[in-house]
Amino acid sequence: MKRVDLLDSHMSYVDEGAGEGTVVLLHGNPTSSHIWRHVVPRLAGAARVVAPDLIGMGESGKPDIDYSFADQAAYLEAFLAAIGVERPVLVGYDWGGSLALDWAARHPGRARGLVLMETFLRPMTWAEFPTGATEFFRTLRTPGAGEQMALAENWFIEHALRATNPGIADEDLAAYRKPFPDPDARRPLLAWPRQIPLAEAGGPFEPAAVAERFEAYAAWAAATPEVPKLLLTGSPHALGSPAMTAWAKEHVAGLEVASIGEEVGHHAPEDAPEAIAEAVLGLLARLP
């Protein structure tokens, strides 16, 4: 792992390979760059491949911040500037996908392409949220109950990871557990579910500030057919549901959709690293 000091902290990252372009791999909650361990070697022969640990996660620093979406985006922006990434292909799942879309929308003309999976393409209603996760996420967003669940019980590491991806090995689970030894270290894990812009039927999206950023990048995605976007689908019961995929086909310009297997869980790089790598290589081959 390399390390770069930025803002009031530091970020750690994998940086391998060489080529005319750069691929940036962005993980989700509660993982780290470790989730790309089988993807990076497959891409490193075709491009520079960068996989950061998002701020507060993995081996990156844990500054005294709120770990809001805006915070995460600011640290990612500073990180990419610090290591000299100008025109990346952005690959992300879960919150990594949202951060990729947000960065692309705020830096028009710089993203060469996006590969997304299991992410938030726009604000969602609770009715659109994966059914099996609704009760847990309502609890996580409840003051007191969420702290008990995410901070005291370490629910994301000890239960959520294998609930969606049961094949995660003990040694890999240990790698994800290591950065979060105590409740204070787990604050970033609780911040993430509270940042998802969700709404009851007919009601406003909360938090509103994050909903605005999601709406902005959804508008950008609809207006940029010149930027190739690849949506990879897996389990029909997760964020990449058939309904959301159908919405993407209608509203995202320059979109291609490809399956990486119906048994691929939410943390898709754990289950299908080869298919993801091949999809990214395919997109790279099609770029000017």
Q: What is the set of active-site residues?
A: 94, 118, 266
Distances (CA, A) of 123 to 128, 168, 195, 217, 239: 10, 29, 11, 10, 12
Helix then strand then coil, in percent of the chain rounded to 5, is: 45, 15, 40
Nearest to 193 by CA among 246, 244, 130: 130
Do strands 9-16 and 48-52 pair parallel, antiparallel, or not at all (unpaired)? antiparallel
CA angle 30-234-180, nearest 5°? 5
Torsion (CA) 235, 97, 56, 146 in degrees, nearest 10: -50
* Residue type at 122 in one-letter notation: R
Closest listed residue to residue 39, CA positions, set 199, 180, 232: 232
